[in-house]
Chain A
Amino acid sequence: MIDAISAGLLALLTPQAVLFLFLGVIYGLVIGILPGLGGVVAMALLLPFTYGFETAATLALLLGAHIATIWGDSVTSILYSVPGSAKGLALCFDGYPMTKKGQAKRALAASATGALFGGIIGAFFLALCIPLIRPVILALGPSEYLIMALWGLTVIATFGEGSLMKGLTASVLGVLVAFVGMDVVTATPRFTFGSDFLMDGISFPVAMIGLFAVSEMMKLTIKGVPIVDRTLVKEESTVMEGIKDAITHRWLVVRSSILGLWIGVLPGVGATVAGLAAYAQAVQTSKTPERFGKGAVEGVIAPDATMGANEGGGLMPTLAFGIPGGESMAILLVAFMGLGVVPGPDMLTKNLDLVFSMVWIIVIANIAVTIIGLGITPWLARLPSLQANLMVPIVLSVCFVGAYATRGHIEDVIVAAVFGVVGYLMDKYRYSRANFVIGMVLAVMIERNLHISMTLYGNDFLLDRPIALAMLMFVLITAALPFIRNWRRKKRQLASGVTAP
């Protein structure tokens, strides 16, 4: 194995591989920052240009670009509440409030450092778990995916904004919107009103662009002030603070990274759910969960660490079975075929050096993204203080182009605008937009996996699936933790109040 580790690294030390990795990272950062475009688009656009180059260089270009989109997505989520793609959603919850509090540099640096640590931990565990990959993947199925989605759902309680009923209403609205399109079980159109456009459902990234970005721009236009008015809120945070935050919360980083790796192993779960589950886990394990949603740095670190580690996990089904865990991995599979590499069990024995090249690419690309990211953070952090009359047209143009670019449909621009109005009204009347999108992203996943679990294993499927049952217990315990802590705190306060003189 040591030979494979060093051979994997050596393959990346050619001028072509180094150049391709660097190009991939820069390109991925740019694509990630553009709303609506993420890692899949980044890799799909690169694929036609990858034939005829060294194997390691080709993988460096594709994986480097994919990894760079993670932080690229986070940048606009933090600065403008505009998720670069669906997986940047969880970064809006606390990243954007941090920006509004004048802590943009700290949030960006914490996000980059969290993603770096997550990426390295994910790559390390990927290397460590190689012999265990196949049995682990074979042991997991729809019931386990269902529990993972339920875990993501527990985060809804965090964003009630004082009213559980309003929080639940927002979630239910999100669920209803998610059900627009073809029913995943019976393949019949649902809530489509005879429209071809609606047959494919409401695009999640487009809805997010509307709910978060367009509605924020509407607010700024009405108020006529920038996101951060420097006469009222000074940018007093530093890049170093963000780095220190990630180090201080190292156990959160480790927990989130392992979670990301775990979710990566479950094909089809995806980075969006990974980010939400990481956020849920950060809230539930925090001693001060009430700070979340208002600019808690842990709410930035956890999703980025999870998404960083998710890449390592996502490679596992692709390498072990030749079965892509998601669209980006499907593109990687195409690249493998072009390179004459056949994924499957042989990959973990005969092509182990190539697997380790990928592990090294994840590590090096994460380091490169973080160095570049930390370097440009001071400039990026200035953007939210631009005057509203300058910023609103720029951000709105980028949002609407992003909405169009997501699927190439002009109707998506209209959807983004409509969701902008919906988002504005929800914010005004204190219905959580976060809950809306959580309901939206998890609804179909829950529907799909609940149906499959019940069809395959019967109504009492949990009794047949011990791993799912154990995961459910874990979810129930972590969901109950904040309530138990709260109850204990109140009990202590009551006790100290009684005993006080």
Chain B
Amino acid sequence: MKTTRRKLMLAGAMAPLVMGGAGRALAQAAGFYKDKVIIINVAGGAAGGHTRYARMLQPYLLKHSGAKEVRIVLMPGGGGLKAANHVWRVKPNGLELFFGNVSTLILAPLAGSAGAQAFDPVKFSYLGRVTSEPRVLTVGGKSAIKSIQDVQKLKRPFVFPSQGTDEDFYTMAVLGDALGFKVKAVTGYEGNADTSLAVIKGDGDGHITGWSESLGPIRSGDKNPILMVTSLPSPDYPGIPVVTAIAPAAKRATVQAMATILETHRSYIGPPNMDPQAVAAFRAVVTAALKDPDLLAESKKGERPVAPLEGALQQKQVAELAKASANLESILKAAVKDIQ
């Protein structure tokens, strides 16, 4: 597992170099997609985070690809599995792609999700990550739980309002296993708004969200962040413990794998065996779009940060993760069994 971690860190360190190389492929990119129509199947609804990012990127993909049109098609359902299953089967000509959360595509097959039996996450063509938002465990502002240690000392299960088997549900199962506390998942909530209110009201003890989703309630004191689910500490979140630092040594590899999976986040992917020319071209397009000063300004203004990771690196990373995360399988399957 240490080897895996080292490889992933090395991959991260090499990212700028590879991105530079990808930038040089820009001419090739413009040539491949010139006057073509690219369909981006977004694994989310009209108001969702994936859609907002996909729409923010759309004009820049158009600009840097030379395509006639970059068409956004919303394909919500099954926590992204519907769009993934669809893209798994499309022609591998690079004209129909997926945009959404890669972590779900890795976690759902591990958990034995019925909607994820048709595809193998390793075989998708990874075309580049747009952003990776850190996940945070928050509790209600008025809750007696003030820290992750309080959670570990609870004499009852930690009540976790959940939408169902999304990546937050899987993450909570892994945290419970690694940090030694029982989790009672209350499924059936409709979305993060619902689970947030449940936590603020005290119906639930806490839940996991992207940092930006909880930022407002954290600033107002309605929620308290008690744990960052990231692979490395960040100066952006001072005073909040990081799961990879506090997990017992025996469980550190498991939480490291989980955190790294979560960091794959919002990415473009294509079907398996995608035309290599299309793969290279779209990776270059994504890289160029994410460096565009206008996009960076828009991203900053709209508080939608980007955190690029080049597609080739992501491809390697997912392959490594699939191997490294085999020990997650039993934890995830047990959590799913608990709610069924």
- Please report the C-alpha to C-alpha distance between residue A385 and residue B193 in the assembled complex, in whole angstroms: 46
Contacts of B217 in A (CB 8 A): 321-323, 344
The chain B residue sitting closest to A196, CB to CB, is: B85
A182 and B197 within 8 A (CB): no
Interface centre among B165, B190, B219, B301 (most CB of A within 10 A): B190
Q: Determine, out of A90-98, A111-119, A326-334, A415-423, the stretch whose residues face the partner at the interface.
A: A326-334
- Please report the C-alpha to C-alpha distance between residue A197 and residue B217 in the assembled complex, in whole angstroms: 36
Asked if A338 is an interface residue, CB under 8 A from chain B, the answer is yes
Question: B82 is contacted by which of A40, A200, A456 (Cβ under 8 Å)?
Answer: A200
Q: Determine, out of A99-107, A185-193, A352-360, A475-483, the stretch whose residues face the partner at the interface.
A: A185-193
What is the distance, in angstroms, from A43's C-beta to the closest C-beta of chain B? 8
B200 and A321 within 8 A (CB): yes
- Which parts of B151-203 form the interface with A (CB within 8 Å)? 159, 161, 164-165, 186-191, 193-194, 196-198, 200-201, 203
A199 and B81 within 8 A (CB): yes
A330 and B47 within 8 A (CB): yes
- Please report the C-alpha to C-alpha distance between residue A324 and residue B213 in the assembled complex, in whole angstroms: 11
Q: Determine, out of A154-162, A370-378, A447-455, the stretch whose residues face the partner at the interface.
A: A447-455
Asked if A141 is an interface residue, CB under 8 A from chain B, the answer is yes
B200 and A44 within 8 A (CB): no
A267 and B197 within 8 A (CB): yes
- Bin chain A's interface residue count: 35 or more
B47 and A328 within 8 A (CB): yes
The chain B residue sitting closest to A186, CB to CB, is: B340
Question: B115 is contacted by which of A189, A321, A334, A448 (Cβ under 8 Å)?
Answer: A189
Question: B302 is contacted by which of A51, A201, A346, A456 (Cβ under 8 Å)?
Answer: A51
- Please report the C-alpha to C-alpha distance between residue A338 and residue B340 in the assembled complex, in whole angstroms: 41
- Please report the C-alpha to C-alpha distance between residue A208 and residue B81 in the assembled complex, in whole angstroms: 26
What is the distance, in angstroms, from A149's C-beta to the closest C-beta of chain B? 13
Asked if B239 is an interface residue, CB under 8 A from chain A, the answer is no
- Which parts of A244-287 form the interface with B (CB within 8 Å)? 267-268
Asked if A176 is an interface residue, CB under 8 A from chain B, the answer is no
Question: A200 is contacted by which of B47, B48, B77, B193 (Cβ under 8 Å)?
Answer: B77
- Which parts of B200-255 form the interface with A (CB within 8 Å)? 200-201, 203-204, 216-217, 219-222
Contacts of B23 in A (CB 8 A): none
B339 and A187 within 8 A (CB): yes
- Please report the C-alpha to C-alpha distance between residue A331 and residue B12 in the assembled complex, in whole angstroms: 33
Contacts of B85 in A (CB 8 A): 196, 199
User: 7 other contacts beyond A184-B187, A196-B115, A321-B200, with CB at 8 A cut-off?
Assistant: A40-B47, A47-B55, A196-B78, A200-B82, A322-B220, A451-B188, A456-B204
Q: What are 14 contact pairs spanning A and B, CB under 8 A?
A: A44-B46, A51-B298, A141-B201, A184-B164, A189-B114, A268-B191, A317-B193, A321-B217, A330-B193, A334-B302, A342-B216, A343-B216, A344-B220, A408-B74
Give A contacts to B, CB under 8 Å: 40-41, 44, 47-48, 51, 137-138, 141-142, 181-182, 184-189, 196-197, 199-201, 267-268, 317, 321-325, 327-328, 330-331, 334, 337-338, 342-346, 407-409, 447-449, 451-452, 455-456
Which 3 residue pairs spanning A and B have beta carbons closest together? A200-B77, A322-B216, A330-B47
